[in-house]
Amino acid sequence: MTAPAAEVQKAIYAALAGDAALVAKLGGARVYDHTPADVPFPYITFGRTSVYDWSTGTESGTEQLLTLHVWSKGRGKAETHQIMDAITARLHDAGLALDGHHLANLRLEFSEILFDEDLTVHHGLLRFRAVTEPA
């Protein structure tokens, strides 16, 4: 059986890359686990994932905290906000199918936009919490 965190990431990737409105905002299915060299802006990357076991004596399951990064060279924060809103609309409370696991819930926990002066890029952060149980 595949690790639940890997299944959650695979399902999130499929959901984001298959969302026509989001793909249009990105100018293509620019969702990456490992970003290729010279990828055009804007794009989304998978960041840190933390996995916690919440199993009890009678039930088993895991909680994953995962971060998505939005990278934009747009003027101002508008493009970053629009992309982050589209991601949230697609993922928050989504009933994504996982192989070998059941997604009990997927919720946005935190979001933030930063501006990196050195790279002249807007950097959006979205942290989601996913709770899974064995299927």
Give the domain ranges of the chain.
4-76+87-134
Mean pLDDT within 64-78: 96
Class of domain 4-76+87-134 as given by CATH: alpha beta
CB atoms within 10 A of CB 131: 18
Distance of CA 31 to the CA centre of its chain: 9
Give residue 1's pLDDT: 56
pLDDT of residue 2: 78
Q: Report the predicted TM-score, pTM, of the whole model to 2 decimal places.
A: 0.94
pLDDT digit string (tens) for 7-57? Answer: 999 999 999 999 999 999 999 999 999 999 999 999 999 999 999 998 888
Are the C-beta atoms of residues 70 and 42 closer than 8 Å to each other? yes
Report the chain's mean pLDDT, rounded to a whole number. 95
